[in-house]
């Protein structure tokens, strides 16, 4: 073979080889591309099937969830939007106690039935379900504002639980920290009576609220007092510390009518006169107060020292008696009904005391054994009246006047 022919042959062979490679390359590329597209399509379809459906339900609240310093007078309320509640739980602190609440009939609203406590962490857990039955679960927390004791007011109630008292006894709620928003607190005070009797609250001060019926209690009345003030705003940054209640009973209508000028006391029980008792009341300069008084407390024996009513030891009128018997207080300033054996000669004819109403030991013992806290003592015959708040003075105003002292009048 000549060199020219050999060269031509090699060139032709190279050309054929190149063409063969080109054809071979075209035949392998398309199937590879086709398989890759098919795999991607399958993977995307699988991912769509595995992706969970999301519930459209959500929950809103009237407190700042994940917040702090939530006011204690808030009543927590939760609302399910685009769905309804399957479960609501609001736990307190470590979770041993739960905040009580009530669900609406359609399951879309939950509202607490008790107020919050200061300085506590609350955890809110909810499950809300949308119309497709898909559930949305949510758990979050909030913390309430902490309060010092000076920022909380504690209510004390009189009469005491289970006590039997007289027909003149007012309901008394005393506060240890002053209430400046009286109206807001009074809205959460209530008195239920059986049989029912009309009455009103009256505020003596920021520390004390009283309730009395329009006229003396009916004997045998059952009374329940509720001071539902826990976490209620009392004004000036103060909140109710605790809710309290007490139930008591009204006993017989014991009413003693004292005529200082006539030196006598007539004692009635349920409208019937039991006895007329000779007495001696306050002499000149120590006049016994006229007005409607109520027995505040009883002492079988009491020490009486005139220094407590402003008579000093160097005063000729000073006295100190260690064993005054059958003493029943009717004013905070020191008026009592009591046995006064030292003035028996004046009883029924002259007033010789320093303001108390004295009687014989026998009559004092008799009255003491019949009487109790809340019994009425009506005094007439002097020109000295009762000072408001000097004892249980609730009956020295007409009911219309008394009602004006309510914060809600």
Which tokens hold the place of 315? 């005063």
- In the chain, what are the domain boundaries? 58-143, 149-251, 254-399
Alpha carbons 319 and 337: distance in angstroms, whole number: 17
CA distances for 91 relative to 25, 75, 101, angstroms: 71, 14, 11
Quick one: 254-399 is in which CATH superfamily?
L,D-transpeptidase catalytic domain-like (2.40.440.10)
| CATH code given to domain 58-143 | 2.60.40.3780
Pairing state between β 155-158 and 109-112: unpaired
Give pLDDT, residue 64. Answer: 86
Q: Which residue has the tokens 């991912």?
A: 47
Nearest to 346 by CA among 335, 337, 331, 357: 357
Are the C-beta atoms of residues 144 and 69 closer than 8 Å to each other? yes
What pLDDT, on a 0 to 100 scale, did the predictor assign at position 45? 52
Which residue is catalytic, options 210, 263, 338, 354?
338
In angstroms, the CA 396 to CA 403 distance is 13
The mean pLDDT of the chain is 90
Cβ-proximal residues to 90 (8 Å cutoff; 6+ apart), any chain: 76, 98, 99, 101, 112, 122, 123, 124, 125
Task: Indicate the length of the chain as a whole number.
Answer: 409
Give the per-residue pLDDT at 67: 74
Q: Catalytic: 26?
A: no
**Considering the domain 149-251, what is its CATH architecture?**
Sandwich (2.60)
| Residue-level pLDDT at 94 | 84
Determine whether 210 is an active site residue: no
Q: Is-contact 111 76, C-beta < 8 A?
A: yes
Active-site option among 210, 263, 354, 356: 356
pLDDT in tens, 292-319: 999 999 999 999 999 888 898 888 889 9
Which residue positions in the chain have pLDDT lower than 70?
1-51
Prediction pTM value: 0.82
Intrachain domains 58-143 and 254-399 with the same fold:
no
Alpha-carbon dihedral sign for residues 226, 230, 233, 236: positive
Render pLDDT for 43-91 as a digit per residue (tens, 0 to 9). Answer: 555 555 566 789 999 999 999 888 789 999 999 999 999 999 999 999 9
For position 44, what pLDDT does the model report? 52
Tokens read off for 233: 């705003």
């Amino acid at each position: 073979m000549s060199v020219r022919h050999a060269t031509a042959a090699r060139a032709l062979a190279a050309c054929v080889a190149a063409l063969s490679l080109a054809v071979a390359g075209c035949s392998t590329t398309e199937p590879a591309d086709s398989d890759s597209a098919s795999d991607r399509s399958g993977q995307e379809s699988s991912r769509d099937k595995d992706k969970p459906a999301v519930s459209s339900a959500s929950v809103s609240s009237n407190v700042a969830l994940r917040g702090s310093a939530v006011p204690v007078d808030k009543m927590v309320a939760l609302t399910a939007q685009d769905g309804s509640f399957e479960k609501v739980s609001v736990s307190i602190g470590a979770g041993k106690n739960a905040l009580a609440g009530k669900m609406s009939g359609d399951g879309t609203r939950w509202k607490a039935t008790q107020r919050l406590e200061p300085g506590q962490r609350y955890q809110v857990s909810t499950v809300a379900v949308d119309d497709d039955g898909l559930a949305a679960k949510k758990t979050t927390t909030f913390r309430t504002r902490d309060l010092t004791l000076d920022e909380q007011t504690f209510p004390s109630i009189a009469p005491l639980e289970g006590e039997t008292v007289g027909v003149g006894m007012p309901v008394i709620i005393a506060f240890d920290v002053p209430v400046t928003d009286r109206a807001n607190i009074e809205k959460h005070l209530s008195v239920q009576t059986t049989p029912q009797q009309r009455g009103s609250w009256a505020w003596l001060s920021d520390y004390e609220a009283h309730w009395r019926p329009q006229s003396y209690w009916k004997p045998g009345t059952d009374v329940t007092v509720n001071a539902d003030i826990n976490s209620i705003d009392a004004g000036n940054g103060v909140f109710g510390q605790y809710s309290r209640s007490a139930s008591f009973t009204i006993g017989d209508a014991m009413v003693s009518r004292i005529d200082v000028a006539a030196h006598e006391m007539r004692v009635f029980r349920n409208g019937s006169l039991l006895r007329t008792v000779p007495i001696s009341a306050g002499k000149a300069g120590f006049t016994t107060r006229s007005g409607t008084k109520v027995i505040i407390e009883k002492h079988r024996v009491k020490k009486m020292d005139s220094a407590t009513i402003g008579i000093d030891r160097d005063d000729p009128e000073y006295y100190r008696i260690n064993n005054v018997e059958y003493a029943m207080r009717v004013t905070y300033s020191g008026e009592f009904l009591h046995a006064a054996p030292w003035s028996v000669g004046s009883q029924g004819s002259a007033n010789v005391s320093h303001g108390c109403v004295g009687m014989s030991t026998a009559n004092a013992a008799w009255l003491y054994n019949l009487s109790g806290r809340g019994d009425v003592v009506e005094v007439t015959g002097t020109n000295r009246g009762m000072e408001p708040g000097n004892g249980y003075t609730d009956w020295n105003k007409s009911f219309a006047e008394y009602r004006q002292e309510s914060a809600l009048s």
